[in-house]
Amino acid sequence: MDGEHHDIKGSVALVTGGNRGIGRAFARALLEHGAAKVYAGVRDPAGVRDSDVVPLRLDVTDEESIRAAAAAAGDVTILISNAGVGDSGTRLLEGTLVVGVHAGFVETEMAAWVDAPKIPPESVAEQTMDALLAGRAEVLADERSRNAKAALSQPVGA
Ligand SMILES: NC(=O)c1ccc[n+]([C@@H]2O[C@H](COP(=O)([O-])OP(=O)(O)OC[C@H]3O[C@@H](n4cnc5c(N)ncnc54)[C@H](OP(=O)(O)O)[C@@H]3O)[C@@H](O)[C@H]2O)c1
């Protein structure tokens, strides 16, 4: 379901796992699109190398850490729930447009072992910025995810 477009310019964003991989690409893209502040929600704030993001201690598997991060970053208007899976994102920020981002393999450390077509993390991030700006609730970032989605709409047994 699509919703209102989301302004990136002037926004305050939080990217979980914003120190490397796809999360870092999200943080860069948000700043390039004019975000006023981007928090990198990370387990080790000392490991954040980008001086233009704000390190925020956050372990998405730790309830107490999620609570502390939400309290410390009360000004967030865009949450990119990138690190790990589950509902930690919704517990950090509620009542906003949720964009589902799907991709097969992305060129990061996580997929280093995969010998299959991969897309750059910057492409995932840029497509997500487009979706936010257009109010689209879903990003199918590569051919693999588009094929998977198309297969879902086929009749059973097709
Ligand atoms: N790469 C792919 O092919 C691919 C495809 C589809 C979906 N994804 C998903 O995209 C997301 C990012 O993947 P990636 O490829 O960018 O992986 P990555 O390069 O391995 O980076 C993982 C990031 O998540 C952070 N992280 C891991 N556990 C965390 C925790 N408990 N709390 C906070 N941060 C945590 C890491 O921080 P540290 O530096 O502290 O470890 C790092 O910033 C993952 O959810 C992954 O499942 C990846």
Mutation to probe ligand 1, out of 24, 26, 43, 58 (largest number of atoms < 8 A from CB) = 43
CA angle 143, 122, 76 (to 5 degrees): 115
Cβ atoms of 67 and 102 closer than 8 Å:
no
CA angle 69, 48, 41 (to 5 degrees): 20
Distance 155 CA to ligand 1 centre (A): 34
pLDDT 10s per residue in the chain (158 long)? 566 777 899 999 999 999 999 999 999 999 999 999 999 999 999 999 999 999 999 999 999 999 999 999 999 999 999 997 555 555 566 656 678 899 999 999 999 999 999 999 999 999 999 999 999 989 999 999 999 999 988 887 76
Q: Judge if the beta carbon of residue 20 lies within 6 A of ligand 1.
A: yes
Q: Judge if the beta carbon of residue 89 lies within 6 A of ligand 1.
A: no
What is the pLDDT, as a whole number, of residue 98?
74
Nearby residues of 127 by Cβ (< 8 Å), 6 or more positions away: 101, 139, 141
Domains of the chain: 12-152 (3.40.50.720)
Q: Judge if the beta carbon of residue 42 lies within 6 A of ligand 1.
A: yes
pTM of the predicted structure, to 2 decimals: 0.92
Nearby residues of 85 by Cβ (< 8 Å), 6 or more positions away: none
